[in-house]
Amino acid sequence: MNAYFITGTDVAVGKTHVVTALLRDLAQRGVSAMGCKPVSCGDRKELRAMREAAGAPTLSLDLINPLYLRTAADPRMGAEFERQTVSLSDLAGKTADLAAQYEVTLVEGVGGWETPLCPGKTMADLAVELKLPVLLVVSNRQGAVSQAIMTARAIRERGLECRGIILNQQSEEWDTAAVTNRAMLEEYTGLPVLAELIYGEDELDSSAVLG
């Protein structure tokens, strides 16, 4: 599979924003690409944004989101409340089936790297099952460097390759951390910052990020 696993240092760091920006750029380049979120919780508006960005607004949401939990909580608890069974192998298989239909597939995790998924398993276990290179989305704010160091280390400890960081500015204001984070991230994680999204920007160069 020519696919990538998109994770973040925390919830609400802009993973879907990054995925949709990449899909939009790939579509403009004439590349057949799709986003995929094996598990989603709460609502599916992010999934609708993905398929719109990929130029496939009528594609079934069930294809790009095999497990939908209405409960706005970690999947582990959402599945328990809704009496649903989470199978890593089933999710990985359906993700692979979707990816086989596209030149590029961007697989977005839920929340952070170790978000609880099912008893004894987290999103990191699904990433391992998929065996995909990882892209790490980091919100450009104070505390980002520490979170990124820990997440990058955890990815490597799972035996997966972290290709690099996408830095996402989520505030109009620029403080000292926002100005210096890029250099600090590259120094302390050993990873390249492949792209930096400024507040209000929704365009990414997919060739720079994906190679």
Tell me which residue has tokens 């590349």.
31
Q: Establish whether 37 is a catalytic residue.
A: yes
**C-alpha to C-alpha distance for 12 and 17, rounded to whole angstroms:** 10
- Active-site choice (15, 37, 45, 94): 37
Residues labelled as active-site residues: 37
